[in-house]
Amino acid sequence: MITGSQIKVPELPKVITNTHDEGLINLLEGSAAEMELFQGEQLIREAAERFHVVVIDYSSLSEGISDRDLVRYLKAIHDSNGVKTVLIGYDNDEMATRCYNAGLVAGVVPSVCRSLSAVVKPSVQNAFELFKSERDYLTKLFDRRYVTRELELAVEKANDALEPVSLLFLDLDYFKAVNDNYGHSVGDSALRAFANVLKKTCRGAGDVPARFGGEEFLVVAKSTGITNAYGLAERISESTRKIAIPLPENKFLQITVSGGLTTYNGVEDLSAEELLGRADKRLYAAKEAGRDRIFGPNEMALE
Domains (range + CATH), the chain:
14-132 (3.40.50.2300), 144-295 (3.30.70.270)
Q: What is the dihedral of CA 283, 288, 292, 294, to 10 degrees?
A: -40
End-to-end CA distance of the chain: 20
Backbone angles phi, psi at 173, to 5 degrees: -75, 140
Rg (the chain; Cα; Å): 21
Tell me how far apart the alpha carbons of residues 67 and 263 are, in angstroms, rounded to a whole number: 44
Q: Give residue 303's pLDDT.
A: 53
Helix then strand then coil, % of the chain, to nearest 5: 45, 20, 35
Q: Give residue 4's pLDDT.
A: 44
Q: SS3 of 219, please?
A: strand
Is 215 catalytic? The answer is yes
Tell me how far apart the alpha carbons of residues 217 and 196 are, in angstroms, rounded to a whole number: 12
C-beta separation of 195 from 259 below 8 A: no
pTM for the model = 0.81
Q: Which residues pair with 94 in a beta bridge?
A: none
Largest CA distance in the chain: 64
What pairing do the DSSP bridges indicate for beta strands 84-88 and 107-109? parallel
Q: Give residue 20's pLDDT.
A: 92
Count Cβ atoms below 10 Å from residue 204 Cβ, excluding itself.
14
Per-residue pLDDT of the chain (303 residues; tens, 9 = 90+): 555 444 566 788 999 999 999 999 999 998 899 999 999 999 998 998 889 999 999 999 988 899 999 999 999 898 776 789 999 999 999 999 999 999 999 999 999 999 999 999 999 999 999 998 889 988 989 999 999 999 999 999 999 999 999 999 999 999 999 999 999 999 999 999 999 999 999 988 889 999 999 999 999 999 999 999 999 999 999 999 999 999 999 999 999 999 999 999 988 888 999 999 999 999 999 999 999 999 999 998 875
Catalytic pick among 215, 234, 238, 288? 215
CB-based contacts of 111-115 (< 8 A; 24+ apart in sequence): 111/59, 114/21, 114/24, 114/57, 114/88, 114/89, 115/23, 115/24, 115/27
For residue 2, what is the DSSP state?
-
C-beta separation of 285 from 297 below 8 A: no
C-beta separation of 218 from 232 below 8 A: no
CA angle 43, 48, 53 (to 5 degrees): 75
